[in-house]
Amino acid sequence: MTALVPETAFDATHQADCHGFLHSVESGAAVDGPGMRFVFFMAGCQFRCLYCHNPDTWKLHNGIRVELKDMLAKVRKYSSFLKFAGGVTFSGGEPLMQAEFVGRTAAAIKKRWGLHIALDTQGFLHGKVEDSWFDPIDLVMLDIKHIDPERYLKLTAQPLQPTLDFAERLVRLGKQMRIRYVLVPGWTDAPDDVTKMADLVASYGDAVELVEVLPFHQLGTSKWDRLGLEYKLRDTRTPSNDETEAAREIFRARGLEAT
């Protein structure tokens, strides 16, 4: 069995709100929330997912140091368009690695332009922030990577329970969720596992607006190679359209919208 990797084995979280570390941005993303999104990909992640397609975001201080004014300047020229076309998404890496800075930035964007704000996260670090931190967040895109705790640990090097606790917290807070589930042949595609996941997600009720079943791909392989990392899923295939659609149907059978 894979040993639990303690939080201290990876980069510590960044606690300051005066500056942060940004990996990259995307100004016209169509898959990171509703409509067209301006996406901040924050640096740093305490997960080591076997299928990660952005391992270059793992190290917090490999990102570019930025201040609040830098973040606002990046959004400003798109703000009028984003107001009606989409909004801003904080992704990563893992944005909760820099919760103080991301929270301050999200609040400032909401106050200045009233934009729709989404948070793309696996929720592992949610316990480090107060409920009020989520006030400017309109949508949480929650990545639940497996329903079985042991398989989850082998897949991510971190425990499942904090993510499940986070989902329950979002229900309590009345926050809308999009559940993201990556379909990986041999890892997350067993019908029993998908069924158990669908049952869990259905239990969240109206808090879940959409389930995104995302087929595994090999687009990040070259990044693992450039970083000199062992990529254990190199020979894993991409699921077929029929297999992906079958998984979506399991969610739909429980009254969930799934794409």
Enumerate domains of the chain plus CATH numbers. Answer: 19-252 (3.20.20.70)
- For residue 122, the model assigns a pLDDT of 97
pTM listed for this prediction = 0.93
DSSP string across 131-194: GGGGTT--EEEEE---SSHHHHHHHHSS-SHHHHHHHHHHHHHT-EEEEEEEE-TTTT--HHHH
**pLDDT tens string for the chain (259 positions)?**
333 334 444 567 888 889 999 999 999 888 899 999 999 999 999 999 999 989 999 999 889 999 999 999 999 999 999 999 999 999 999 999 999 999 999 999 999 999 999 999 999 999 999 999 999 999 999 999 999 999 999 999 999 999 999 999 999 999 999 999 999 999 999 999 999 999 999 999 999 999 999 999 998 899 999 999 999 999 999 999 999 999 999 999 999 999 9
110 three-class SS: helix
